[in-house]
Structure 1
Amino acid sequence: MNPEWFSAKELIGFTGLPSSPQGIHSMARRQKWVRRRRFGVQGRGVEYHIDSLPIKTNSNLVLNEPSVEYFYSNNQDPLLIWIESYKQLDERERQKMITFIVRNGMIEVINRLGASNEFIY
């Protein structure tokens, strides 16, 4: 599951970003990143939405995410993982996910049918 919100400390060390929390906050203000208050933190802790971050940083965050194999090693049912992940999405994100899965699923079916030269009527 992809996290969407990151604190300044979590963003330190990524390509194209400053090397201190103060630098990250400053860059975020200049570039008007989407932010929210961090839950469970006293003071003025904020975190930034992944879609606000520079493209290079965004793709590096995705590449650094642990693989799905982690879930399998804990003997969790993949269907339950998908259901729980789906529940955490808002309605717009759910619609995007369904569209993506249906479109890419159909494209893959068409590709496989074309590769095997078999057609089902």
Structure 2
Amino acid sequence: MRPSRTWQQRLQDIIASAEFILGMMRGRGEEALAADRSLRDAVLYNFVVIGEAARSVPKEVETRHSVVPWKDMRDMRNWVAHGYHGVDLEIVARTIREDLPDLIENLTRILTIDSGGEAGLANARE
């Protein structure tokens, strides 16, 4: 059995998935999501990863860093995973554009502060 991942590793998973989504969507919008099933599936899968990782962040970390939309990440995961047939691609595209850059910035800051600076950030990525 694989050992459990630390909350810092979970944050790094969220950052990696958000960066992947931003990279895949660079220069593309809602129309590309609607037209390209492979792109849509890759983006939605990474939103599921983000929500799963957010579920494993301890409550004390959530409380200490309330600026992060922890519940929204979990809710988006549930919406994509369970309501896959009714996913609104306009909302997905808007979330990518408006929310993911700030999410990456905030989680990177948390890793730097709570994990002992740049050394902590490097350790969290392992």
TM-score, normalized by length of structure 1? Answer: 0.25
- Between Structure 1 and Structure 2, which shows a larger proportion of strand residues? 1
Higher relative contact order (CA 8 A, sep 6+): 2
Find the structure with the greater CA-based Rg: 1
